[in-house]
Chain A
Amino acid sequence: MTDTPHKSDVAFIRALAELLRENDLTELRVKRDYAEADSIDVRVSRQTIVAPPPPVAPSAPAPAPSAPSAAPAPAAAENDDPARLPGAVTSPMVGTIYLSPEPGADAFVKTGDTVSEGQTLLIVEAMKTMNHIAAPRSGTVRRILVEDGSPVEFGAPLMIVE
């Protein structure tokens, strides 16, 4: 391996750390398999300030990227991040969202629809690959969190199906 993958790994971990801080998360784990002998498994975590802060707690701990980290950080207080909801379907890749099979066609699903496991919910496009995201379980589409044609980041919540 050259140092290029290493550099990109560092950049990737740094991006995760930023994501963690921006979204006020306590922990984030990403596993990517690039090839049989080329994969990355990163867990970044940080401590969040819980109210009331314990007397000896550090005032504002910096995000600490580590791969893998020690024990998970203490659970956050109330967290409204949809990505953490149990029924969240998240994006497996960076790309563009399409809610319908083609422009002008009906959307794959709409809020309130009953879906069965394996049914296409939407498409994420990257590198001209139309990746159909299937419902991981049967249930009801509670929320659609993305807009047609909008860009999406890795791990971003797309829909809530429960």
Chain B
Amino acid sequence: MLDSVDSTNAYAARIAPELDRPTWIMAHRQTAARGRRGRTWASPDGNFSATLVMRPGGVPGWAALRSFLAANALFETLALEVDRTRLATKWPNDVLLDGGKIAGILLESAGSGGQVDWLAIGIGVNLAQAPVAEPDAAFPPVSLTGQGGSNIAPEAFLARLADHYATEEAILERLGFEPIREKWLRAAARLGETISARTGDGVIEGIFRTIDPAGQLILDCADGPRSIAAADVFF
């Protein structure tokens, strides 16, 4: 538990080499919070910022499945505060509340020779305040209290999230990815409908069919099914 830190993911990367077991790092304030590809992430007081850092071993493709474990765990944690029908997952690890962005998850890993050395799962949740929406935001930021949810302290939120995540990790270890995939799909927004995926090459539009056993997004496009490993999804 830290009072203030540059970023919980950056801190995780620094302590990872010495780590002997999975560890949660929570900070009341992040002075250099970041999102995907250098996007800023506002983490005002009262909101939740934490990173789970671990040394899972294995190949990067397996480590990356934790995106879905984290999304499922966050979904269940939020479902204790609001009716679960108002929550939805968006590929791969977003959780939406009433269609708005209540949280952000950023995973970072490092390794060489095809093996993962460490993995950091950074999770930010707008418990108390939603940052001001950027004009082009596809999913307007919302907060838990702003949507009528209870006023939960970050410490209490962490305790529940850590429990839910531990259960997801046990499912992965004992039963494999399939039950995690099925659970994620049950909560997925726009399944069977047309969605768009913005990749480095452009925008791919297609019917959101499923996610595959590697977690890739499967879209039925005009020229056949496409599997997508990295993209921003919007609809």
Chain A residues within 8 Å of B, Cβ to Cβ: 2, 4-5, 8, 32-36, 38, 90, 92-98, 101-105, 118, 120, 124-136, 149-151, 154
Give A124 to B62 CA distance when docked, in angstroms. Answer: 14
Contacts of B176 in A (CB 8 A): 34-35, 38
Q: Which residue from B37, B64, B105, B212 sits with its C-beta under 8 Å from A93?
A: B64
B109 engages A132 (CB within 8 Å): yes
A126 engages B61 (CB within 8 Å): yes
Q: Which residue from A4, A34, A120 sits with its C-beta under 8 Å from B110?
A: A120
Shortest CB distance B69–A (Å)? 11
Q: Which residue from B37, B108, B177, B178 sits with its C-beta under 8 Å from A132?
A: B108
Residue of A nearest to B70 (CB): A128
B68 engages A129 (CB within 8 Å): no
A127 engages B93 (CB within 8 Å): yes
Contacts of B216 in A (CB 8 A): 94, 126-127
Q: Which residue from B62, B67, B93, B110 sits with its C-beta under 8 Å from A134?
A: B110
Give A5 to B216 CA distance when docked, in angstroms. Answer: 15
Give A134 to B109 CA distance when docked, in angstroms. Answer: 10
Contacts of B60 in A (CB 8 A): 92-93, 124, 126, 129, 131
Shortest CB distance B109–A (Å)? 5
Shortest CB distance A158–B (Å)? 12
Contacts of B59 in A (CB 8 A): 32-33, 92-93
Give A1 to B67 CA distance when docked, in angstroms. Answer: 23
B220-235 interface with A by 8 A CB criterion: 229-230
A128 engages B199 (CB within 8 Å): no
A129 engages B67 (CB within 8 Å): yes
Q: Contacts A32-B59, A149-B200 known; A131 to B230 CB distance under 8 Å?
A: no
Shortest CB distance B203–A (Å)? 14
Give A129 to B67 CA distance when docked, in angstroms. Answer: 7
Contacts of A36 in B (CB 8 A): 173
A132 engages B110 (CB within 8 Å): yes
Residue-wise, chain B 39-68 has the 8 Å CB interface mask toward A (1 for contact) of: 000000000000000000011111111111
B138-189 interface with A by 8 A CB criterion: 172-173, 176-178
Contacts of A134 in B (CB 8 A): 110-112, 117
Q: Which residue from B34, B111, B177 sits with its C-beta under 8 Å from A131?
A: B111
B173 engages A128 (CB within 8 Å): no
Residue of A nearest to B36 (CB): A128
B197-231 interface with A by 8 A CB criterion: 199-201, 212-216, 229-230
Contacts of A128 in B (CB 8 A): 36, 67, 92-93, 105-107, 230
B135 within 8 A of A: no
B38 engages A103 (CB within 8 Å): yes
Besides A130-B107, A135-B112, A151-B229, 20 new A-B residue pairs in contact (Cβ under 8 A), listed by A number:
A2-B178, A32-B62, A33-B58, A35-B62, A35-B177, A92-B114, A96-B199, A102-B37, A102-B38, A103-B37, A105-B38, A124-B60, A126-B215, A128-B67, A129-B67, A129-B108, A130-B108, A131-B108, A132-B109, A151-B201
